[in-house]
Amino acid sequence: MKDILIVCAGSLTGMREAISAAFPKTEYQRYIVRQIRNTLKYVPDKDRKAFFADLKTIYQAVDEQKALATLDRVTEKWTPKYPNYMKRWKGNRDAIL
């Protein structure tokens, strides 16, 4: 194999670095389902539906610019209540978007 266009994988330690070392031009995208599950499993039921609806607007944006703007809006809304969860979304934005 000479090249890979996109790799969609979990967040295993060192995965991104290993792929970049072997295939420098490859785009790495994290499984969005895993990111969502890992976030929502700690959100109380009373907020889960609204929180999920807002997360959905991030990964369903039509382009990266709109996704980043939406991520900022959602982060501003939910950080006061769930700072660690939104920190993960901001920290993983390059892999998610």
pLDDT in tens, 39-85: 888 899 999 999 999 999 988 899 989 999 999 999 999 999 998 88
Residue predicted with more confidence, 48 or 88: 48
For position 42, what pLDDT does the model report?
Answer: 87
By percentage, how much of the chain surpasses pLDDT 70?
95
d(CA 43, CA 83): 11
Mean pLDDT of the chain: 87
Q: Three-state SS for 29?
A: strand
Residue predicted with more confidence, 77 or 7: 77
Residue predicted with more confidence, 49 or 10: 49
CA 7 to chain centre: 15
